[in-house]
Amino acid sequence: MMGDAQAIEELHPDWGPFGVPLFDGPQARALSRVGVIDIGSNSVRLVVFDGAARSPAYFYNEKILCGLGAGFAETGRLNVAGRARALSALKRFAALTKGMGVKPLLTVATAAVRDAEDGREFRDEVLARTGLTIRVVDGQEEARLSAQGVLLGWPGAQGLICDIGGSSMELAELLGGGAVGMRRTSDLGPLKLMGIKGGKRAVSAHIKDRIADLKSSFVNRHDRLFLVGGSWRAIARIDMERRGYPLKVLHEYRMTPQAIMETIRFIGSTDIDALRARTGTSAERMRLVPLASQVLKELVSSLKPREVAISSYGIREGLLYEQMGDELRHRDPLIEAARHAEAMNARMPGFGRTLYKFVEPLFPRATYEKQRLIRAACLLHDVSWRAHPDYRAEVCFDNATRANLGGLDHAERVYLGLALLHRYKSNRAGTNFNPELLSLLPEARVREAEILGRAMRFGAMFTVEKPTDHGELFWLPKKKQLRLTLKTDAGRDLFGEVAEARFAALAGAMGAEGVVQGAAKP
């Protein structure tokens, strides 16, 4: 992703390091209202994406925990009650998507329907009753689609992805550059494991044998493991609860192998109903957690990753990714989403670009990763302007830290949120800001986010358009001096009392002397 962006910058320097926006192009418009119905072994879900931006926006999202795969190991057939619930849900989903005008609508089924002896009969009944044609994906295809879902949030990601469902578990290799390598499937879904006879010892031996077999297919060791699936997310939520983690966003949540082992021990020693109440997890999901924990323990022990990351994106997002052309796939999801938000919600769409150029001199040695956060902050600086002025700073922070955005780890979410908070408020006093969130960022990064916020606060009110036409900022670190050069008569008129106060606040945040040149009219 970096290489593509830097090549674009060299060809078209005026566009900046992120390419021309694609969210309003014909390719992206064709993705508006993409619908996916995912018929899994445990749940049936409808997601309607607003595909206008590179990060998926969930226009509609509904899930029913049907348990189609419950009891499969004993009967080889779909669960009778689960089948009735699934058919009812699919009739509703067909009616909903018709009313929304969703096109395309992709309906996929995984392990339960794929393996059940009455799977074909169920598909025929669904077609007759709802008009939905179910595409059954095999284990290899399921692994590929889940890997593509991870790529939607992490373009260019490398590592192994592990997607656990009710009746199966898939592994796929991400090789970098958007390539998916080796893929394998297994019967390590918790609903399947429930049917193994011989008690805990037999289940444990089965898990160990299956994971050893899976591992033998992957020659390369990978430092990063991406976890996809509801059971993994439930375990991550318990890990957050155990640690007292301050940010309750599962996507991009990171765990070390040691932390995972501690959490698995915690699950084993804690009442499941108490865990369910503390984490808000459904009873249907929580009953799968103990077996999923056994699988995860063996998986981490065998694969030995250095880091484990939770991905909220999986097979459904992988189907959306599949609809995208290469140019859109390789775009930065954060920047494209920020551009889309600015175009839809800002008072003056396009101002974020000029604001970025105005504040850019304050960060002369910014890395690519820092540049993209500064650019995103400038694009998002005004999208919450309709919020009540007394709460606008808090709304900005919450939007950044809790939004469904790809391409952001948790530290970056807090950085972006702090910058936007300080765009509207000079300090955090009087807000509901949780100071524990600062533990996710080094002190120097907290200070940098505050400086960026105050710089946007000054630049946004200095002039309502094209601040670089009227003034230019210079940062002289050796002199500890922040210099503003006013270049036009209009610029000198615009630099009134409020602008002067905000410039002084910016200089103070930088620990610098604020110097204004060209302030006096000739």
Block residue for tokens 């996809």: 228
CB 251 within 8 A of CB 445: no
CB 403 within 8 A of CB 341: no
Q: What is the pLDDT of residue 340?
A: 85
Q: What is the pLDDT of residue 147?
A: 96
Q: What is the pLDDT of residue 20?
A: 52
Block residue for tokens 């997890």: 281
CB 486 within 8 A of CB 463: no
CATH 3.30.420.40 domain extents, the chain = 23-136
Q: What is the pLDDT of residue 27?
A: 56
- The gap from C-alpha 266 to its chain's centroid, in whole angstroms, comes to 27
CB 450 within 8 A of CB 422: yes
CATH 1.10.3210.10 domain extents, the chain = 331-517
CATH 3.30.420.150 domain extents, the chain = 140-317
Q: Name the least confident of 25-39, 206-220, 385-399, 424-438.
A: 25-39
Q: What is the pLDDT of residue 325?
A: 81
Tens of pLDDT along 293-304? 999 999 999 999
Tokens at 82, concatenated: 């689960």
User: pTM score, two decimals?
Assistant: 0.89
Tens of pLDDT along 387-442? 988 888 989 998 888 887 788 999 999 999 999 999 998 888 777 788 899 999 99
Tokens at 62, concatenated: 């509904």
Q: Is the pLDDT of residue 518 over 60?
A: yes
Q: What is the mean pLDDT of residues 367-390?
A: 93
List phi, psi (to 5°) of 508: -60, -40
Q: What is the pLDDT of residue 68?
A: 94
Q: Rounded to whole angstroms, how far apart are CA atoms 331 and 437?
A: 29
For residue 172, name the pLDDT band (cuts at 50, 70, 90): very high
CB 218 within 8 A of CB 171: yes
Tokens at 456, concatenated: 């946007």
431 by DSSP, 3-state: which? coil
Q: What is the pLDDT of residue 21?
A: 52
For residue 73, name the pLDDT band (cuts at 50, 70, 90): confident
Tens of pLDDT along 464-481? 788 899 999 999 999 999
**What DSSP string describes 255-308?**
E-HHHHHHHHHHHHHS-HHHHHHHHT--HHHHTTHHHHHHHHHHHHHHH--SEE
Q: Please report the sign of the dihedral spanned by the C-alpha atoms of residue 403, residue 406, residue 412, residue 415.
A: negative
Q: Name the least confident of 28-32, 152-156, 193-197, 216-220.
A: 28-32
Q: Is the pLDDT of residue 16 over 70?
A: no
Phi-psi region of 495 (alpha: psi -120 to 50; beta: other; left: phi over 0): beta
Q: What is the pLDDT of residue 520?
A: 59
182 by DSSP, 3-state: which? strand
Q: Rounded to whole angstroms, how far apart are CA atoms 260 and 225?
A: 12
| Residue 343 or 9, more confident | 343
Tokens at 205, concatenated: 């031996």
Q: What is the pLDDT of residue 494?
A: 92
Q: Rounded to whole angstroms, how far apart are CA atoms 336 and 21?
A: 7
Block residue for tokens 């936007």: 420
Q: What's the fold here for domain 23-136? A: Nucleotidyltransferase; domain 5 (3.30.420)
- The 3 state secondary structure assigned to 213-258 is HHHCCCCCCCCEEEEECHHHHHHHHHHHHHHCCCCCCCCCCEECHH
Per CATH, the homologous superfamily of domain 331-517 is: Hypothetical protein af1432 (1.10.3210.10)
Q: What is the pLDDT of residue 521?
A: 52
Tens of pLDDT along 334-358? 998 898 889 889 999 999 999 999 9
Q: Rounded to whole angstroms, how far apart are CA atoms 432 and 518?
A: 41
Q: Rounded to whole angstroms, how far apart are CA atoms 331 and 53?
A: 10
CB 503 within 8 A of CB 458: yes
Per CATH, the homologous superfamily of domain 140-317 is: Exopolyphosphatase. Domain 2 (3.30.420.150)
Q: What is the pLDDT of residue 257?
A: 97
CA 47, 53, 54, 58: dihedral to nearest 10 degrees? Answer: -20
Q: Rounded to whole angstroms, how far apart are CA atoms 384 and 386?
A: 5
CB 356 within 8 A of CB 375: yes
Q: Rounded to whole angstroms, how far apart are CA atoms 499 and 504?
A: 9
| Residue 49 or 7, more confident | 49
CB 453 within 8 A of CB 419: yes
CB 374 within 8 A of CB 368: no
